[in-house]
Structures are given as structure tokens and as C-alpha cells.
A and B are shown apart, each in its own frame.
Chain A
Amino acid sequence: MDTTSPSFKENARKAIADPLVARSRGHIKAGFIAKRRKAADRLPEFEALRDAARDIKNHTLAHLDLYLERYEAQVLAAGGRVHWCPTAEHARQAVLEICRAAGARTVTKGKSMISEEIGLNDFLESQGIVPVETDLGEYIIQLRNEPPSHIIAPAVHLTRTEIEAAFRSHHDHLPAERPLSEPADFVNEAREILRQKFVDADVGITGANFLVAETGSSIIVTNEGNGDLTQCLPKVHIVIASLEKVVPTLDDVNVILRVLARSATGQECSTYTTFSTGPRRPGDADGPEQYHVILLDNGRSNMLGGEFQEALRCIRCGACMNHCPVYHAVGGHAYGWVYPGPIGAVLTPAFIGIEKAAHLPNASSFCGRCEAVCPMRIPLPKMMRHWREREFERHLTPRAARWGLGLWAFFARRPRLYHAATALAGPALRAMAGGRGRLRRLPLAGAWTDHRDFPAPEGRTFHQIWAERQKGRQP
């Protein structure tokens, strides 16, 4: 997928002024956050499950080579095939070869972020194969020819008005005067149109939430049932998954499933959790004749054994972005690549390079809510900090920021000077603010004061208060 991450600041500026982004913020706040809280509170074991889920993935990542070999052996034993793909280009070609061999003209697709990552739809179209997204949200954004704005709710930025326009212009064989305003109208219309696509498709492509080394199974977790119709009707089923999706056993899957839906939508359990192992068996009444797994690396092996390894625990629930004040303000598209929000700020530099994605790890107030809700306990703020350090080391940080940091470091290394300077600066700022306690303008800090006031220091410095407290504590 092409990226606009390098222009994050410009994207963000536009997004903040966009009423659609503001409305989706309302939906996310009213929906996901409260529902997750309720589901977590209802399960006394929730925190223990988060610990266990983290430990499972840590163990798996430490033995990733071995679990993938075991997984592959089980897929082969069940009659399936595994296609190892170092890059997005390898993955696109592998999918194309399978589609060509099957004589495919149309493929149905279940929701897959890896498909977005490798830009599969545009590629298939360029090769004369028609990809049909079947998840309702993905279908809507495919009609509008735009990327998802959220990893589990791809059309969360749209209201009925935009969806109605997309349906009316693309479904022009239907009566123009038909009612199209209630959620049920849209769901029923998409259901009718996609039903025939499911039946007609030559190949079905799904993602995978997990791959199980014990059994060679791939797993999809969905609510609509579109992924299941995608994979059980055509004669070929292609699973596209990345390396880190593997987990050791079915028991391990159970642990992570218990935190996945609760963290994502706040459901106790998603409607459909489907385990697929190889193609149709002798005697089976239905199911695909071929089963292929596209196993994608695309930069993940480089994250292993380093300071970003823990990000490979991610199960793509979306809780970090649902709780992120920056994501709320700018929406998903501003991030400019596949994965938005805090996890996107960590993954994007790893996948497309820090020189293109340097703004993303800086787009955080370090409030820590993402880490507090991450079911896999990924230390997202720490990782964003690591990226900022890399950015600084590689002299990618803007000159003014480097100059400011250098100035601060000069004082910070000289405590007496630092204390003297802050003792002067505090009252000076207070005086500048007059009686208001807030500064409308501040030299060198225009990037802050252009958008909001700067609070003036109210009294003593942190160091002064700390010193007094310590004194008071002594016997």
C-alpha cells in the first residue's frame, strides 16, 4: 500500500477540521470504550488472562522458527500448502499464481489487514481479476475507493449519508426511489448483492487471526459470517497471514480468544470463530478443494530479538486506537498507512522505514492509555520512545527540535544552572500571563500556542516541592 505517512502533520491538520472525523470520534467513544470496560469488569479472570496471553506470545516468539516448522508440517499433513513470502511482492505473486491456476475471474475476500498491507486488491485488478470485499465495512470503503480508517471497523469514519451515496451510485440497477436510511436497509441491500458474489466466486481469500502449530489450523474471528461464506463456497481457499500469527496449541488460542473480543468490541465472544485445517476431506459434503496459506514476513523477522519484538504480540484488536486521544483527534487516515493509532506508530516505521514514518511515534502524548488497555500488554509508549531515539540518532529530527533538546540537555547536565534558570523562568512566565494563568503566545513555541493556550507555572517547581517533602519526611 502507498503511504502518506511522511505528510502526517498536513493530514492531521486537515483531519482535525473534518466533521466526519469528529463524528467517528463520537462513535468510538460512545461504543468501544464503554463496552470494553463492561466486558473486562464482568470477567474476574480478565487480568490474569492478559498475563497468560502475553506469556504465550513471548514463548512463541522466542521459538518462532520451530513453531512455524511444526505448523507447516501439520498443514502439509492435512493436504494444504504453505507459501513462504519474504516480501509483499512475493505474496502478491503467490496469490496470483494460485488464482491463475484456478482460472479465477472473481475472488471474494474476508477482512484482512495483510491484504491491505500488500496492496492485494489493486494488484489483482491490474491483472484482470476482480476482488470483492465482503465484510460490510470493507465493502463500503471498496466502493468509495479508500483505505480503512480503523483495523476492526474500517468504515467507522462514515455516516449513513456517505454510505447512501456510495450505494446509490454503485447499485444503479436498483430502483432509485428505494428507501435507504436505516441500518437495516444498508445491511439487507449489501446482503442481497454479495450473496450472488459468494456463490459465483472461484477463489475465496481470508486473513487469519491465529495459526495453530499443534493442528495446522488457521482461525478467523468475525461477526458477519462473510469470512465463512468466502471460504466454504469457492473451490479454492487462500489464507493470507503473517509469521507472528502462530500460537502453539488450541489451549493457547482459548486464552487469547478470551481477551480478543472483549478488548475489541466488548463482546463476550465474537459470533463466528472458525478453525480451518486443510482442504475438503474425502466424504465431506462441501468445502474447498484446495487450501493455501500465504505466510508473509515483510519486515517482521527483523523485529525479532530487538527492542520492537514485543509489538509482534499484537492481535489487532484495536483497543489502543480506541483509547488514544491522538487517534480520536485525527482519525485513522491521517496516519497514512495500513495500521493507525499507537500500534501503527510502532509498526509503520518498522515496515516502511523511520525516515518515512518519523512523525508517527511523535504523535503521542505518552498518556499511557494504550498500554493500559492492550490485552497483550505491549509497552507501546516505550516503543514509540525507542523510535524517537532512533530518529534522533539518525539526525531525522527537525533542526529546531534538535536545537531545543540540545539547549535543555545543556541545563539538565548542570543542576545548579538548571535550578537557577527555572527559578527565574517560572515567575517570568507567570508575569507574562498576567492574571489569566494562561499564555496565548510564547516565543519559539508557536506550534503549541497556535492551537491552544500554554498554561503558566502556578507556583514552585517540582524540584522545590520534592525537596520540601523529603525534608518533612525525615524523623
Chain B
Amino acid sequence: MNAPGSNRDEILAALRGRLHRQDGDGGAEAVATRIAKPARGPIPARGAGGHEARVALFVAMAEEVAARVVRVPSPEAVPEAVADYLKSENLPAEIRLAPDPGLTGLPWDSQPLMAVSEGPARPTDPVSLTGAFAGIAETGTLMLTSGAAGPTTLNFLPETHMAVLKASDITGCYEDAWDRLRVVQGAARDGGTLPRTVNLITGPSRTADIEQTIQLGAHGPRRLCILLVDDGEA
């Protein structure tokens, strides 16, 4: 086997040959421009409404793919809503929190019967609670980002995933959510980097590999519960 460098050169030389690439042919400029100024494609009109319409569309689309949406009036009401949901689903009162001050700082002592811990998911954790960077109304999708406050394992390992989403963080389309992330992280063109993992999550895990019959809970969570905090418009 050749040294890695020469494989790279071999492939790139083959591509350049097939494309008749030449210095000064404008190719490099076209590429630089496209990355510096990303161009949007056609945006579905369905997400173009105002705040109320966006929230309503998000809820409808999320429920369509079997996510549960629970409206809560304020962040402080989240612990009680979590307890109520777990009770209604007959699930253990035991929750693993993302180490996010916005979640760990909530009034969990109002729920003395609930076992609360924080950190990345362990294989035995039955329920996780995470934040969400954004919600995307177009398809009822959550956008979650990894980091110190966002262990990715919480989104996949427990049987039940609960996520807190502020209504003001719901965008109409994917592009608006990515633009928000570019602002927070710094756009790639300015040397910014995406978080290690960005998860777009639309409903709970599912498979149709047994005779094309949809079955929830293939490997990821069997249940996805979105706690939608009505904090008004952004």
C-alpha cells in the first residue's frame, strides 16, 4: 500500500484530469464564493407563518410522528410536568439530566419522590431530560447540540427521551435554525466549528425492517416527549 499522501495525490490528480482543471479557470473562486455566501434553495411555504402559526405547525408535525408535546407555562413548571408525564406513562420516577444549568437549576426539590442525577447516559438510565437548541416547525424536528451541557448519549440510550424546548426557539425552516447555530458557534467561513454532534430528531426511534411494518423503539428511545415552554415570541 502506498503512503497516504500519494493516494491523496493520485485521486486528486485523476479528478483534475477528468475535469480539465487549470489554474485561473475560475473554479477556486466559485467554490470560495459558494462557501462564504451559502445560498438557500426553495424554502417550503408551510413554515413561513408568524410565531403562533409556527408553534402550531411544530406541534402538529411532531405529534404526527408519535412525539408527545406537553405545553408548560414556564421553565419552573418543568419538574412537575416531568413527574406527571412519567406517572401517566407508568414509568419509573428516575431521571438523568443533561448537565445544563438551565435544567439542573430548576426546582427539582418540588418532586421529592423523583430520583434526579446528571451526566452522560448510562446503559441503565430509563429516562433522560435534555435541552434543545431549536425546534423546526417544517417537520416537527428538534435540533440538539453536543457539548459539556449536552451529552449525545442522553438522546439515544434511555428508553424515554424528554427535551425542553422554548417556543421562542422554534424556527419555520431548517435554514433558520442553522443560521442561529452559525451565529452561536461562529460560521465556518470565520473559523467557527460546529459542535462535535448536531442531532436533528423527528419523533422516537422506529424501524420498518420486519415486513415493512412500522415499529417504534428500534434502538433509540421508544418515547420522545417534548416539554414546550410557552415563553412568547423571540
Residues in A lying within 8 Å of B, measured CB to CB: 27-28, 30-31, 43-45, 48-49, 52-53, 56, 59, 62-70, 74, 77-78, 82-86, 89-90, 93, 134-137, 140, 153-156, 159-160, 163, 183-184, 186-188, 190-191, 194-195, 198-199, 213-217, 223-226, 228-229, 232-233, 243, 248-252, 254-255, 257-258, 265, 267-281, 283-287, 295, 297, 301-302, 304-306
Contacts and interface: CB of A to CB of B under 8 A. Distances in A.
Contact of A225 (B1, B12, B156): B156
Given A195-B123, A274-B197, A66 B28 contact: yes
Closest 10 CB pairs of A and B: A225-B220, A255-B41, A224-B218, A285-B151, A137-B209, A269-B139, A305-B18, A249-B38, A273-B200, A84-B8
Contacts of A137: 207, 209
Given A64-B15, A191-B219, A226-B218, A183 B197 contact: no
Given A84-B4, A243-B11, A272-B201, A285 B206 contact: no
Interface in B124-183: 138-141, 146-153, 155-157, 173-175, 178
Contact of B193 (A215, A248, A255, A265): A215
Nearest to B14: A301
Nearest to A30: B212
Given A90-B7, A285-B120, A217 B194 contact: yes
A228 B155 contact: yes
A45 B47 CA distance: 12
A224 B207 contact: yes
B45 to A, nearest CB: 7
A276 B151 CA distance: 14
B218 A301 contact: no
A190 B207 CA distance: 12
A216 B188 CA distance: 9
A402 B12 CA distance: 40
B12 A69 contact: yes
Interface residues of B, number: 86
A187 B175 CA distance: 35
Given A159-B211, A250-B178, A65 B15 contact: yes
For B4, B121, B138, B219, the residue with the greatest tally of chain A CB atoms inside 10 Å of its CB is B219
A52 B41 CA distance: 6
B129 to A, nearest CB: 14
Nearest to A288: B196
B207 A254 contact: no
A276 B197 contact: yes
B42 to A, nearest CB: 4
Nearest to A296: B11
A82 B7 CA distance: 11
Nearest to A249: B38
Contacts of B7: 83-86, 90
A182 to B, nearest CB: 9
A214 B178 CA distance: 13
B49 interface: no
